[in-house]
Amino acid sequence: MPLSISLVVNGVRKDVVLEDPRVTLLDLLRERVGLTGTKKGCDRGQCGACTVLVDGRRINACLALAVSLDGADVLTIEGLAKGGQLDPVQAAFIAHDGFQCGFCTPGQIMSAVGLIREGEAGDDPERIREGMSGNLCRCGAYVGIIEAVRDARKQLAISANEDRRVA
Amino acid sequence: MPDHMSDTIPFSAAPHVRLGSSSGQPITRRDGVLKVTGAATYAADNHPAGMLHAVIAVSTIARGRVASLDVAAAKAHPGVVEVITPANRPPLALDPDVKHGMFGFRFDALQNDRVRYAKQPIAVVVAQTLEAATEGARLLSPTYEIEPARIGFDGGEHFDPPMVSIGAPPNFDRGDLAAGLSAAAHLIDTHYETPAQYHNAMEPHAIVAEWDSDRLTIDTPNQAIVMMRGAFAEFFDVPAENVHLRSPFLGGGFGSKAIMAGPHILCILAARMLRRPVKLVLPRDQMYGPVGHRGATQQHLRLGLDAEGRLTALEHHALATTSSFDDFIEAAANASHNLYASPAISTRHRAVRVDIGTPGPMRAPGEASGSAALECALDEAAAACGIDPLEMRLRNYADIDPATGRPYSAKALRACYAQGAERFGWAGRPLAPRQMRCDAGHLIGWGMGSALFPAPMFQAEARATLRADGTALVETAGADMGQGAWTVLAQIAADGLGLDIEKIEFRSGSSDLPDGGVAGGSGHTATAGSALHNAGTDAIAKLAEIAANDPASPLFGTGNAGVEARNGRLYHRSDRSRSESYGDILARAGLATIEGNGKGGRDPAAAEARAMFSHGAVFAEVKVDPDLGQVRVTRLVGAFAAGRIINPRLARSQLYGGMIWGLSFALHEEAIHDRRSGRIINADLAGYHIPVHADIPEMEALLIDEDDPYVNGLGIKGVGEIGITGTVGAIANAIWHATGVRVRRFPIRIEDLIG
Amino acid sequence: MNLFDYVRPASVAEAVAAGSQPGAAYLAAGTNLLDLMKGGALRPGRLVDVTRLPGLDRIETLADGGMRIGAMVRNADLARDPAFAAAYPAVAEALLSGASPQLRNAATVGGNLMQHTRCAYFHDAASACNRRDPGAGCDARGGENRNHAVLGWSDACIATHPSDFCVPLVALDAVVEIEGPDGRRDVALEDFHRLPGTTPERETVLRAGELITALRLPPEAGGFRTHARYLKLRERTSFAFAIVSAAAMLRIEGGTIQSARLALGGVAAKPWRAKAAEELLIGAAPTVESFATAAEAALTEAMPSGDNAYKIELAKRVLKCALLLAADGTPRRMPALPASVFNFDTGCHSHA
């Protein structure tokens, strides 16, 4: 039973015909629209490697049926940098060495973007740790990741303030 | 307590950085942008045109035979293209049940219907889509002739293994153990148990295989690219040069991606059989079977100590699980060989055959399990003698290697103890347990452990090509599984060539390059780095020879020992005004490029003369809820001496990673088998815990300056594994110090502490 | 995952009609259902997507002072709703202690009530499980059952219910609103989940085709806001299921407990209301002794179902600690580590 769905992925409309309804958002991104930056670590919502933003919220793409998200707006790691400019979260991950093998990194970064947008963790490292606990890292880059998230949040807060002043 | 401790330590260059040197500089990862944008390509990201998806069906029993498979049901599922079972599996050139070489393990590639562990491959389903292949595999609905599973230390046959780990002797004796024990004023007789642990790299094992006639291209994460290319070629009876193995990025390896396993072979077979590219990615649960793990151990230690707490004898026996059909014995007892001075040391290994997949090397194989027990036993000894645990270790400090009597190539362990203790604030720790509480009423404990890991080298080759435009191409088939090879190897290569790192184009991660050896044993940077450095100096020597023999060169007549390469120019060693750029030398000689080649490997004479290890000391603080038994590690400070540090930023990350593995070993990781079925009941990442962000405290990893003139020409040891050793014991000892409860089975759980 | 029909009804009535067909299952976020389908433990022939049904995503304050929460409200949105979190802080804390931020952003209120046990033998399609396959037997008995039930279990099933959210809710007398082929009905949450008895496959009282549309909190539930805590013991600091958890909510006036609401999680096939313990506390002073007595009373019927006797003692201690925390008062701000024992770590100093 082929199903036609339409998503906006990284600002680009994607019309996809699914062979059957079993396809998850993760497998749609990776195997059908060529966006392999989002990773499959466990396929069961237990590791966070597949974290993407759907309608602005971070979720596990492995546990979402693509067909159920028809019409949604999806942001993946490939859509984060704008005009060749890294997002402050991406830049901070490099500066603080917030990764080693890099496999969990797209999920960590998208989760950090989601966390910062949620706006509740502030600069409290304990709240950031808790807020990032849906993203496992087997290499053990946790220290650098938390430093990166704190740093990026500060920079984003500063630039948001500057935007307000300009406005 | 500051929560910004690590913020206060900016990255600084390693000590003694040579002027203009890349090595020692804390540069950020050269692959950083690729990794933070999702552009780094891991094996499963490949999608050649016409590709099919393969999914393995695995056994749900641990021992017996497959009696039936409903192939028709699987084939009837829409999208399924082929089902491969032992009945139609094409032949292989080699028998998977015959061991090939030192790193060859027996594996399961549908050679028969026998089942010898749960999650063993029993069929492969290939389909147009991943969804169809997955469901096709389930529809095979296997039936079995079941034999009782042999699980656990008392479940199977015990035997004396001919070797442990990879090629190490199982037993060791030095000195008179009986005399040492009988002379002891204190005797510690204790035992520890460690569970089966699984590597669980975040990237599941994956392979994309494509045949073009008798040429094979495989994308698969691999820690030993050129060696494995040869192995794959042999199994498919094609020349090694016909196989192209690409592994630019590994999503973690930890030992599990150093060896060939059944799934790789099955994917390549499927691709050849169907004449289509095939992708096979293991689901997470299938990583608890055919791709190795850390075997479980039971360890028994006896420590004899004199009245002042000095060892008179050290005995360490280990029993380790292995599979019914192959041997990899966790060399846990060997952790007692090289760390503490004892007039008598005796170690033994026994093994037990159980119905599990064969264990393999997993980050700090042997050392992790053995160090956990040894460091706890030392802590027990310190308590028995009424001595501070750090003082205990100083009293037993080995100035020469206890196992061989050789001097160490370098050993800055005293500095590790001193600086680690200082940074942690160890002084004033009460001797007795249950003495410290926080305002909230939590018990606080402090514990420590010594860290030690060998500094091996393997064999590697590299090529360096200087170009007329002042850049260079350097090449070796290295592997970056997160340790930072893309960055640190380029830093070393830049120094070998006297070039700024921005001028270096580094090619790696592909089997068509010079053999970079194995990324394992914490020896890759030393080995491949030496090869790259030597390749660079070879190219420079050739260049210098051209210049020295060219009357038009300002360096004419210097001889190649008389020049120095820096920043893209050769300088006369004693007359700085005489210099010439690489490009000018090449241009005048009419050369577009000049190539150097180099090898990396241990100097056999140095290896005979010296004992070579990295060392460290780890200090841990835990808090324990006194009523509820929940544990949280609140501080971890490690101090490590590992020779010359090429990149402090990346080395710190490696050490943190190891320490987090130690925390995970102490508190989290355990594969739980159902003893009746032999299945692991927590074969996922929800039930098999590794730490999450909230489990990871403030951490520090101090890099202790150590100049090792013997280990290799570059003075490089390794930092990838040592962080685990020491940390497990430090945390367990801190829990004892907090609670007074000595837990002798890992991981330490709530139920152990609520007594 | 098996092939299935996918339907997305436009109204609750259409959904109920579609969901009443044999083999149908309702799909909300899918965080539990898809997980179980991938593992082969569940194989529904039809998924009825209820995520876009109109009117199920609202959080409303009712005229009587209670609240109604639509079944499709996401866990994270509910926990962050200022009115809800202020009125029922222990529920918000329980929500935020469950799963991960990503899962909470997706998972729904209705789905949380419907989530299945984490028993490994239920999840493992190759194991015998009466809950999944009636009459097959129970491999958890005599298996690895360290984390299994100590209350309300039967020979047929020793699984526990994994929800954090439901634990304080059951203590607050929450009511489940249900639409079905025979119309609308309300069921007290306490009666919603069933103990296994001889029919563990019937996990809830829902009849074929019935759909949860909302959850309602009665007016009295808002009376515990100043002394309400949820405490969850787990083997990781975060992102782990409870070994044992407890919700404790008190109304204290003049140094005397006027009313108490207590429930335990991770101990039974349903969130376990501890009414006998509640009654013991009425009129008592909020002291360690009275809390210990109450905790003892809550576990009088407990029995190990395997290698889990430790959970009985642990449950008593967790309940006692939760009561002590509740007596201290609801924190002004949600703790950094919701429901963790490592939260009230203020002014902690190592050199004690």
B286-340 pLDDT, tens digit each? 999 999 999 999 999 999 999 999 999 999 999 999 999 999 999 999 999 999 9
C40 and B750: CB-CB below 8 Å? no
Classified as helix, coil or strand, B216 is strand
Taking the CA of residue A136 and the nearest CA in chain C, the distance in Å comes to 10
Give C209 to chain B, closest Cα distance, Å: 27
- SS3 (DSSP) at C209: coil
- B474's tokens: 């350097």
Token output for C100: 């991960």
**Kind and range of the H or E run holding B594:** strand B593-600
Binning pLDDT at 50, 70 and 90, where does residue B755 land?
Answer: confident
Check CB contact under 8 Å for B60 and C126: yes
d(Cα B28, Cα A96) in Å, to the nearest integer?
8
Provide, as residue numbers in chain B, all residues whose Cβ is less than 8 Å from the Cβ of A134. Answer: 692
Tokens of B281: 């990615």
Q: What chain B residue is nearest to C146 in terms of C-alpha separation?
A: B751
Return the pLDDT at B562: 85
Fold of B297-456+608-753: Aldehyde Oxidoreductase; domain 4 (3.30.365)
CATH number of the structural domain spanning residue A39: 3.10.20.30
Angle made by CA atoms B527, B530, B531, in degrees to the nearest 5? 90
A13: part of which helix (H) or strand (E)?
Answer: strand A12-18
A69 and A18, same structural domain? yes
Residue B460 confidence (pLDDT) above 90: yes
A97 and A58 both lie in a single domain: no
Quote the domain boundaries for residue A111: 88-166
Would you tell me which residues 411-430 of chain B have a C-beta closer than 8 angstroms to some C-beta of chain C? Answer: 425, 428
For residue B181, the distance in angstroms to the closest alpha carbon of chain C comes to: 38
Comparing C-alpha atoms, which of C238, B509, C192, C13 is closest to residue A127? Answer: C238
Interface test with A, best of C8, C77, C105 (most A CBs within 10 A): C105
Binning pLDDT at 50, 70 and 90, where does residue B8 land?
very low
Asked if the Cβ–Cβ distance from C102 to A64 is below 8 Å, we say no
Say if domain B43-148+204-250+257-287 classifies as CATH 3.90.1170.50: yes
Give the Cα separation of A68 and A28 in Å (integer): 12
A contacts of B689 (beta carbons < 8 Å):
none
Interface membership of A154 toward C (CB under 8 Å) = no
Q: Do C341 and B437 touch (CB under 8 A)?
A: no
CB C264 within 8 A of CB C230: no
Looking at CA atoms only, how far is residue B556 from chain A in angstroms?
A: 45
Nearest CB to A97; choose among B203, B250, B650? B650
Distance CA C94, CA C75 (A): 10
Tell whether A75 and A92 lie within a shared domain. no
* Residue numbers in B near C139 (CB within 8 A): 674, 676-677
B457-601 and B43-148+204-250+257-287 share a CATH fold: no
Strand order in the sheet with B460-467: B504-507, B472-475, B460-467, B593-600
Three-state SS for A129?
helix
Same domain for A59 and A99, yes or no, is no
Which residue among A44, A76, A135 places its CB closest to the CB of B38? Answer: A76
CB-CB under 8 Å, A22 with B481: no
Residue B659 to residue A125, Cβ atoms within 8 A: no
Q: Is B473 helix (H, G, I), strand (E, B) or coil?
A: strand
Type of residue numbered B430? P
CB of B287 within 8 A of CB of B200? yes
CA–CA separation, B387 vs B402, rounded Å? Answer: 22
Tell whether C257 lies on the interface with B, counting CB pairs under 8 A. no
CB–CB contact A63 C238 (8 Å)? no
Looking at residue A114, its amino acid is G
- Give the three-state DSSP class for B74: helix
Q: Which residues in chain C are closer than 8 Å to B678, comparing Cβ atoms?
A: none
Task: Compute the nearest-CA separation of A100 from chain B (Å).
Answer: 4
What are phi and psi for residue B580, nearest 5 degrees?
A: -155, 145
pLDDT by residue (tens digit) across B149-165? 999 999 999 999 999 99
Same domain, A16 and A47: yes
Instruction: List chain A residues with CB under 8 Å of C1.
Output: 22
Q: Is A125 on the interface with C (CB under 8 A)?
A: no
Among candidates B326, B671, B197, A154, which has minimal Cα distance to C120? B671
**CA gap C191, C182 in Å, rounded:** 19
Q: CB-based contacts of B253: which residues, under 8 Å, 6+ apart?
A: A101, B199, B201, B221, B223, B479, B481, B482, B519, B520
Q: How far is CA A59 from CA A64, A114, C30, C74, in A?
A: 8, 9, 12, 12
Is the pLDDT confidence value at B15 over 80? no
Q: Which helix (H) or strand (E) holds C49?
A: strand C46-49
What does the pLDDT look like over B408-449, one tens digit per residue?
999 999 999 999 999 999 999 999 999 999 998 999 999 999
The residue out of A37, A53, A79 marking a domain boundary is A79
Taking the C-alpha atoms of residue B382 and residue C107, their distance in angstroms, rounded to an integer, is 51
Domain boundaries, chain B: 43-148+204-250+257-287, 297-456+608-753, 457-601
List B residues 267-326 in contact with A (Cβ-Cβ < 8 A). 281, 283-284
- What tokens appear for B338 in the block? 């090289």
The answer to whether residues A126 and A102 belong to one domain is yes
Domain layout of chain C by residue ranges: 5-52, 224-328
A57 and A93 both lie in a single domain: no
DSSP state of C239: S
Q: Does the beta-carbon distance from C320 to B627 stay under 8 Å?
A: yes
Q: Does B691 touch chain A (CB under 8 A)?
A: yes
Residue spans of alpha helices (H) in chain C: 12-19, 33-38, 75-80, 82-87, 89-96, 101-106, 109-114, 120-123, 166-171, 189-192, 275-281, 288-298, 310-328
Burial state string for C282-315 with b = 16 or more CB within 10 A and e = fewer than 16: eeeebeeebbbbbbebbbeebebbbebebbbbbb
Among A158-162, B714-718, C12-16, C337-341, the minimum mean pLDDT is found in A158-162
> Is B9's Cβ below 8 Å from some Cβ in A?
no
Which residues 217-246 of C have a C-beta within 8 angstroms of A?
237-239
Q: Which of B77, B425, B440 sits opposite C345 (nearest CB)?
A: B440
Q: Based on the structure, what is the number of domains in chain A?
A: 2
d(CA C246, CA C274) in angstroms, rounded, equals 10
Looking only at the bridges linking them, the beta strands covering B215-219 and B206-212 are antiparallel
Would you tell me how many other CB atoms lie within 10 Å of the CB of residue A35? 21
Find residue B594's DSSP bridge partners. Answer: B466
Query: Which amino acid appears at position B398 of this protein?
Result: A
Instruction: Note whether B579 and B555 are within 8 A (CB).
Output: yes
Q: Contact at 8 Å (CB) between B658 and A100?
A: no
Look-up: residue for tokens 């495989």? B218
Q: What is the pLDDT of residues C209-225, one digit of tens each?
A: 999 999 999 999 999 99
Give Cβ neighbours of residue A166 (< 8 Å, ≥ 6 apart). none
How many Å lie between the alpha carbon of B26 and the closest alpha carbon of chain C? 32
Question: Tokens 């050649």 sit at which residue?
Answer: B48
- Closest-CA residue in chain A for C99? A134
Q: Give the alpha-carbon dihedral of C206, C211, C214, C216, to 10 degrees.
A: -20
- CA-CA distance, C347 to B439, in Å (whole number)? 6
- Residue C93, chain B, CB below 8 Å: the answer is no
Q: B233 near B263, Cβ under 8 Å? A: no
**Cβ atoms of A73 and A59 closer than 8 Å:** no
Instruction: State yes or no: is B564 an active-site residue.
Output: no
Residue of chain A with shortest Cα separation from C339 = A130
Interfacial B residues in 334-393 facing A (CB < 8 Å): none
CA distance B471 to B539: 13
Q: Answer whether C171's CB lies under 8 Å from C326's CB.
A: no
Provide the sign of the torsion angle of the four alpha carbons B207, B210, B215, B217, taken in this order.
negative
Number of Cβ pairs < 8 A linking chain A and chain B: 190
CATH architecture assignment, domain B457-601: 2-Layer Sandwich (3.30)
Which CATH number is C5-52's, of 3.40.30.10, 3.90.550.10, 3.30.43.10, 3.40.50.300?
3.30.43.10
- How far is residue C38's CA from residue B144's CA, in Å, rounded to a whole number? 23
User: By the 8 A CB rule, do B55 and B130 touch?
Assistant: yes
pLDDT in tens, B733-742: 999 999 999 9
A59 neighbourhood in chain C, CB within 8 Å? 102-103, 105-106
A160 reaches B (C-beta below 8 A): no
For residues B606 and A70, give the distance between their C-alpha atoms in angstroms, rounded to a whole number.
66
Q: Give the residue on C whose Cα is nearest the Cα of B752.
A: C310
pTM tops 0.95: yes
Structure tokens at B735: 């829990």
The per-residue pLDDT for C352 is: 29
Q: For C185-201, what is each residue's pLDDT tens digit?
A: 999 999 999 999 999 99
Predicted confidence (pLDDT) per residue in B32-47, tens digit: 999 999 999 999 999 9
Q: Does B667 touch chain A (CB under 8 A)?
A: no
Single-letter amino acid, residue B364: A
Cross-chain Cβ contact C102/A45 below 8 Å = yes
Token readout for B343 is: 């007039």
Q: Name the 3-class secondary structure at A72.
A: coil
Helix axes C310-328, C288-298, angle to 10 degrees: 140
Q: What is residue B318's predicted lDDT score, i.e. its pLDDT? A: 98
Under DSSP, is residue B193 helix (H, G, I), strand (E, B) or coil?
A: strand
A61 and A123 belong to one structural domain = no
Select from 3.40.50.11390, 3.30.499.10, 3.30.390.50, 3.40.190.10 the CATH code of C224-328.
3.30.390.50
In sequence order, what are the beta bridge partners of B637? B619, B700
CB atoms within 10 A of CB B386: 10
Percentage of the residues of chain B whose pLDDT score is greater than 70: 97
Structure-token pair, residue A14: 């994607």
- If 0-12 CB within 10 Å is exposed, 13-18 middle and 19+ buried, where does residue B287 land? buried
Write down the pLDDT at residue A164: 65
Per the document, the length of chain A is 167
Chain A residues 126-145 with a CB less than 8 Å from chain B: 126, 128-130, 132-145
Q: Cβ A118–C99 below 8 Å, yes or no?
A: no
Query: Is some CB atom of chain C closer than 8 A to the CB atom of B561?
Result: no
Q: pLDDT averaged over chain B?
A: 96
Compute the distance between CA of residue B51 and CA of residue B417 in angstroms, rounded to an integer: 55
Q: Do B686 and A19 touch (CB under 8 A)?
A: no
pLDDT tens per residue across span B633-687 = 999 999 999 999 999 999 999 999 999 999 999 999 999 999 999 999 999 999 9
A/C interface, count of CB pairs below 8 Å: 94
Options B135, B700, B706, B721, the catalytic residue: B721
pLDDT at B658: 98
Please report how the helices B582-589 and B524-548 are oriented relative to each other, as an axis angle in degrees rounded to 10.
Answer: 60
Residues of chain C with pLDDT under 70: 344-352
**Do A109 and A69 share a structural domain?**
no
What pLDDT sits at residue B19? Answer: 63
Instruction: Determine the Cα–Cα distance for residues A105 and B692; give it in Å rounded to an integer.
Output: 14
